[in-house]
Structure 1
Amino acid sequence: MRLKRVRPSKYFKDKKLNICILGGGNVGTLLLGDIGSNKDLSVRLFTSNPHKWSHEIEVCSNDNTVKYKGKIDIISDNPEDVIGDADIIISTLPSQVFPKIIGKIKSFIKSRTWIGVMPGSGGSEFYCKELLEIGCILFGFQRVHGISRIKEYGKSVYDLGKKNELHIAAIPVDQTESICMKLENIMKIKCNPLPNYLNVTLTPSNSILHTTRLYTMFYHYKEGLFWDEVIDFYEEWNDEASKMLIACDEELQLLCKSISGLNLTGVKSLKEHYESGTPEEMTKKINNIIPFKGIKAPMIKTQRGYIPDFNSRYFLEDFPYGLCIIKGFCDVVGLDTPNIDKVLIWFEKIAEVEYYVNNKFEGKDLKYLSLPKNYGLSSVEDIIFYYS
């Protein structure tokens, strides 16, 4: 893929930036409050519910104290209103929604626009192929910039803890440092450049953290089984979940070592990320992460009790647009992944999709996903070339 080279630092010099946020969930609302508090920026919001939004977002502490407010200048569901003059676009949309929205707005995006994705996994680099070809720059965050919960939709959000630093990669690769410098100034958080975008794509955050927990919580579920109350996703995390998490995380690390021609040092093992070398240490660590407290498992109430909510974002996003993508790269390099397979085979049954045929990762429903083979990457050499 031939990409136009631009000099973003020069292009944005001494210019009041127009920044458009896609999506107004927990992360999007916090981000709007954060960047909207910067008077040197003009903030837009692209949302399907513009009538439900205030032009001022309150960012609150847990005790309901308003810490600061952010201003949104333009709110619209019409791309022409908020996309056409945007210098930077940042998507906080679920991965399964991103392809539809990027398809809807891409004709309004001008050349040289920076297109950010938070978090940047989910195959965003493939969905933005046409935009990259016209000179846009894609950048992705490894993880969200903070933990948040909406207080009142369109009006206020709880800030439950910000990251001390962020890790970002870009396509083209040589634009990463310039983007980090500009975002650090905008977001007031240290931004570290990653070697290449595959370090974002393979980040084992939700793709392994969520999927292994869901598997160990619900693999025994069948119709007629109910829970008396909703499970605490993290506070009730157990050693069984930790063992599966570590097993899948180790398979991901083997993948990174298999792509030896590409610097993937930014794909940190979850054992390193959580400073936990054993399942018991991992369980204790996750049980006691303060921002994770109070987060519930995706479950819905029925007349007889609670059951898994298979239509939640946890299922619709983290398996097909998370773990499946990691498996897709493992498939390209020919790496056996018995633990990842176990989790995905369970998911394909509950989701009624086909990922595996005769134990091979070649089911008919894979063609709809952002897997490397679906975008012409069929060898280690292809992967190295694409992400270099």
Structure 2
Amino acid sequence: MTKKITVLVCGGGNGAHVTAGLAASRDDIETRVLTTFSDEAERWTNIMKENDLRITVDEGDIKSGESVDFKVKLNCITKDPSKAVPGADVIIFTVPAFAHQSYLEAIEPYIQPNTTIVGMPGQPGFEFQVFDVLKDKAKQCVVMSFESLPWACRIAEFGKFVQILMVKVNLMGCIIRGQSKPSYDPMEAVQRVMGKAPILTQANNYIEPILATKSIIHPPIMYGKWKDWDGKPIEKKPLFYQGLDEEQARYLGGISDELVATAKAIAAQKPEVDLSGVLHLYDWYLRDHKPYIKDTTSLLTVLQTDTAYDGLVHPMKETEDGKFVPDFRYRYLTEDVPNGLVVTKGLAQIAGVPTPFHDEVIAWCQKQLGKDIIVGDELKGKDIGSTRCPQRYGINTMDALVNIM
């Protein structure tokens, strides 16, 4: 008989609605929600007094091909971590990376040994932050981080109705078990929440997903597109992926080259660290997006002809006269630079790998963000503390990187 577990979902957005709804639909899971944003917990609790949470899966069940539509009741939604955390077996973070620090600080006093802490998505540097905030307590926990949300989803009506638009087939994550000895299988427990899909797979180690991250895609495309912009509004929003040109593809490919080189350098210095899952971005697209790609000639043609990206445009702000200017405070920079590109640069710096493409893109991005992160080719700016690069946490050597426990 499967052991009943208690799952705590942190957050109140799209992903939290789906995660909580799926967990609550399982007979062997007790579900709780912790949302510290404003009065969100109170609002959602009041909604649940007279309504159920409805979840629809528009693409249908992976096995049967039939659509899924069900309702659940959430009985514990709170902003008080003292009520939510004690007794929780699995704590799933479904909030943007910028909110991880505050949630970790909120749960820290109540964390118990053998708890599983899951970043979904964790994004690069999640593990560093968990160990920094939870300190010795983290060593008694299981720390897991997945590369993205398991689905594309959206709230149709807060607290009442959330739609799953697309379910990913596979999702890779890492596990750091530390000194923990949970009475349940952590990966099985998270898979139980997800259901049949996506199929969760385990990376060889925590470094592999960082160097295989897709958080490095947006910043170089933004840089290549807007580095020479004259500041004048434009008539229409340009396509993001399918509007890629040779200059943008050069930066994107160059950064991916540097990640592959970093993986090779780490493996050469630490042969026990298996980084075989770190693929060049071009090879990753051919593996995971092949059904959507019309021209596989190069990284440039792959993105230009990837139908999964149909219609997706650059993040833009509309001007008073109906024209558009780029939005440099969108998550493509605010999230993917401090919790993506700067983290991979940090690993490369430890491995001794030159990163001219990283350096050039980060230097431009930090100006748009009003930050001082990189100085020349080193991460030593005064705003390092706003990122999750290993250097922020005092991790500066290969031994420290490999043995973060």
State the TM bucket, normalised to the shorter chain.
0.7 to 0.9
Q: Does 1:272 align with 2:260?
A: no
Q: Unaligned 5+ residue runs, structure 2?
A: 61-66, 287-295
Mapping of residues 27-176 of structure 1, within 5 Å: 27-47=15-35, 48=37, 49-53=40-44, 54-55=47-48, 56-61=53-58, 67-129=69-131, 131=134, 133-134=136-137, 135-172=140-177
Query: Is 2:59–2:167's contact at 8 Å kept on the other side of the alignment?
Result: no
Indicate conservation of the 8 Å contact 2:119/2:126, yes or no: yes
Residue type of the alignment partner of 2:162 = V
2:325 is the counterpart of 1:307: yes
> Residues 205-284 of structure 1: matches in 2 within 5 Å?
205-206=214-215, 208-223=216-231, 225-260=232-267, 261=270, 262-275=273-286, 276=296, 278-284=298-304
Of 323-332 and 52-61, more deviation after overlay is shown by 52-61
Q: Which has the higher mean CA deviation after the structures are superposed, 249-258 or 171-180?
A: 171-180
Q: How far 1:295 moved relative to its partner? A: 4.1
SS in 2 for 1:128: helix
1:31 maps to a residue whose letter is: T
Would you identify which runs of 4 or more consecutive aligned residues in structure 1 move more than 6 Å?
Answer: 173-177
Question: Which amino acid counterpart does residue 193 of structure 2 have in structure 1?
Answer: I
Does the aligned pair in 2 maintain the 1:120–1:201 contact within 8 Å?
Answer: no
Instruction: Report the Cα offset of residue 115 of structure 1.
Output: 0.4
Tell me, what secondary structure is at the counterpart of 2:374? coil
- Alpha-carbon distance, 1:173 to partner: 6.6
Distance of 1:233 and 1:157 partners within structure 2: 27
Per mean C-alpha deviation after superposition, the further-off stretch among 172-181 and 214-223 is 172-181
CA RMSD of aligned residues (A): 2.7
Q: Hey, what's the Cα distance between the residues in 2 that align with 1:26 and 1:103?
A: 22
* Distance verdict in 2 for CA 1:15–1:205, change over 3 Å: same
**Aligned match of 1:183 in 166, 169, 190?**
190
- Cα distance in 2 for residues equivalent to 1:226 and 1:92: 35
- Residue 5 of structure 1 corresponds to which residue in structure 2? none
Name the SS for the 1:303 alignment partner. Answer: coil
CA distance 1:378–1:360, change in 2 (3 Å): closer
Deviation at 1:375, TM superposition (A): 2.2
Distance in 2 (CA, whole Å) between partners of 1:310 and 1:66 is 38
Gaps of 5+ in 1: 1-12
Q: 1:42, 1:72 within 8 Å by CA — same for their partners in 2? A: no
TM-score (norm. length: structure 1)? 0.86
In structure 2, the residue matched to 1:335 is 353
Structure 2 match to 1:376? 394
Secondary structure in structure 2 of the residue aligned to 1:274? helix
Distance in 1 between residues matched to 2:349 and 2:331, nearest whole Å: 25
Deviates further, 354-363 or 248-257: 354-363
Describe the shift of the 1:248–1:298 C-alpha distance in structure 2 as closer, same or farther (beyond 3 A): same
Partner letter of residue 144 of structure 1?
L
State which of 7, 18, 22 in structure 2 corresponds to 1:19: 7
Match of 1:196 in 2: 205
User: How far 1:139 moved relative to its partner?
Assistant: 0.5
What secondary structure does 2:145 align onto? Answer: strand
For residues 250 and 70 of structure 1, the distance between their equivalents in structure 2, rounded to whole angstroms, comes to: 46
Match of 2:307 in 1: 288
TM-score (norm 2): 0.82
Could you tell me how far 1:278 is from its partner in structure 2? Answer: 1.3
Look up the equivalent residue of 1:40 and give its one-letter code: D
Which amino acid in the other structure matches residue 80 of structure 1? S
Give the whole-Å Cα distance in 2 for the aligned partners of 1:245 and 1:70.
43
Shift of 1:61: 2.3
Q: CA deviation at 1:282?
A: 1.9
> Does the 8 Å contact 2:123/2:213 carry over to 1?
no
Cα distance in 2 for residues equivalent to 1:116 and 1:133: 17
Shift in Å, 1:200: 2.5
